[in-house]
Amino acid sequence: MTSLGSGAKVILVTGASSGIGEATATRLAALGAHVVMVSRTEERGNRARHKIHAAHPGASTDLLIADLTTTAAIRTLSEEFNSRYDHLDVLVNNAAVMTSKRRTTSEGFELQFFVNHLAYFLLTGHLVDALKRAPAARVVNVSSTAHSRGEIDFNDLQMEHHYRGYDEYANTKLMNILFTYELARRLEGTGMTANCLHPGVIRTGLMRGVSPVLHALWQSLGKFFKQPAEGAETPVYLATSPEVVGVSGKYFRYCRPFGTSSASNDRDLQRRLWEESERLTGFRFTV
């Protein structure tokens, strides 16, 4: 097991090698947390980690490599974490993708659906025992205001017909909130909390998977967007602030709770998405 300084919180951040994830990892390390950074590639992960230690020489970090596009990779990541640590104080599910054309994983899942939703669901489920072993553990899910455009069609959950990239992205961001609200309800009485957030319109590499035209437009508008460091404010707040101790099942913007779409508050939809996620992955998520 990894030896940590007295009182250091263990916080795992996915998508920690760039954008909001890197900025979140940097802020958390600066605050004295032991940050477990998850990166798709070792090269990008080490680059981000070195930047953190250059800016904060006393930072405490670890790097785990996982391409969060398969159930096996998520299971292996969880096993590696559990072999190094006896508990997890905070899980920040941040990694996300956006694509213009429909792409599938090696297991046949639509890419955005898997990375943006099922990876959150599976990683949280695989690490729930580690979270239970921490006092007052927190799950923080990065969503988006795009959720308000999202729709859930259980007859075409992965948009096999008439695929539209941004619409599927919005759908998955709605799924993040549905998952968070259902998880929070199932965590009641455990001492653990689950919240989600909109980080703001941030200049990140999220749009690199879209068409060249849309990517160029995103780049040209980028000067009007916030920087990743600003996007990290709310996830860091939810991961660390004493103001949200015991607060669960909420959606935050600018470090404040906000309401969400009517669809996101549909309890039947929340429950059914959970059950469908279990069915599709063959993973039974037991709290």
Cβ atoms of 137 and 196 closer than 8 Å: no
Q: Are 173 and 143 in contact (CB under 8 A)?
A: yes
- Annotated active-site residue 85? The verdict is no
Annotated catalytic residue, options 169, 181, 237, 251: 169
CA atoms within 13 A on the CB side of 257: 8
Radius of gyration of the CA atoms of the chain, in A: 18
Instruction: Count Cβ atoms within 10 A of the Cβ of residue 129 and give its class: 0-12 exposed, 13-18 middle, 19 or more buried.
Output: middle
- Residues written for the chain: 287
Give the pair of three-digit tokens for residue 182.
């259902």
Which residue from 279, 77, 275 is spatially nearest to 179, judged by alpha carbons?
275
Q: Catalytic positions, please?
A: 169
